[in-house]
Amino acid sequence: MAMNGTNIYLRPLARKDAEELLAVRQTNFSFLQPFEPIRPEHYFTLEEQRNQIDYGRKAAENDQAFSFGIFLNETHALIGRIELSGVARGPFQNANLGYFLDQEHNGKGYTTEAVSLCVKFGLEQLGLHRIQAGVMPRNLPSIRVLAKAGFRYEGLAKRYLNINGVWEDHALYAITAEDLANQTDRR
């Protein structure tokens, strides 16, 4: 199940992607660390990346989370990862959005394209009503991505997540099925 965009495509990660995923993680360690939890040393091993991919597959089978690699159309290189996690059904029909992109490919619109593809998948294919994302207020590039993808600011969650060893505030953004339909109607 691939989702094709103009410059990138998303597809579920497979075990064959573990080496490339590890390379992206290792290459971007310093770039991503200010925005991520502190991870144990074994997280950055090939075995753990395979475990993460396996976990992602099982989570999708159980309708709990859906993770995808972000690949360049031109070269099929893996340049990042995007995920809908914490899927809640019933009256909520919600998921949380998280993503990262190789620093070398930032500023080219790839993350916005990936977020838009993932949102469309979540709202149209999974039947979710709402997708939310939390971002540290100082992470202006990520805030711009969410705004371009149609997310709206909903408020500030104080000391929301432990990021890089600190309880960080997060600005909360969301998009609903109605928001996506209104965007489509305006085109």
Q: Where are the domains of the chain?
A: 3-186
- pLDDT score, position 50: 98
- pLDDT score, position 1: 74
What would the mean pLDDT of 19-25 be, rounded to a whole number?
A: 98
- pLDDT score, position 178: 96
- pLDDT score, position 183: 84
What would the mean pLDDT of 15-37 be, rounded to a whole number?
A: 96
- pLDDT score, position 187: 59
Q: Can you give the pTM of this predicted structure?
A: 0.95
Q: Is the pLDDT of residue 78 over 90?
A: yes
Average pLDDT of the chain?
96
- pLDDT score, position 174: 98
Residue 186 pLDDT grade (very low, low, confident, very high; cuts 50, 70, 90): low
Q: Is the pLDDT of residue 20 over 70?
A: yes
What pLDDT digit, counting tens, does each position of 30-69 carry? 999 999 999 999 999 999 999 999 999 999 999 999 999 9
Give Cα 24 distance to the centre of its chain: 15
- pLDDT score, position 55: 97
Fold of 3-186: Aminopeptidase (3.40.630)
> What is the arrangement of strands in the sheet containing 152-163, beginning at the earlier edge strand?
3-4, 8-12, 66-72, 78-88, 94-101, 130-135, 166-176, 152-163
In the chain, what percentage of residues exceed pLDDT 90?
96
Radius of gyration in angstroms for the set of CA atoms belonging to the chain, rounded to a whole number: 16
Please tell me the number of Cα atoms within 13 Å of 81 on its side-chain side: 23
Q: Is the pLDDT of residue 184 over 80?
A: no
Measure the CA–CA gap between 173 and 63, rounded to whole angstroms: 22
Q: Is the pLDDT of residue 71 over 90?
A: yes
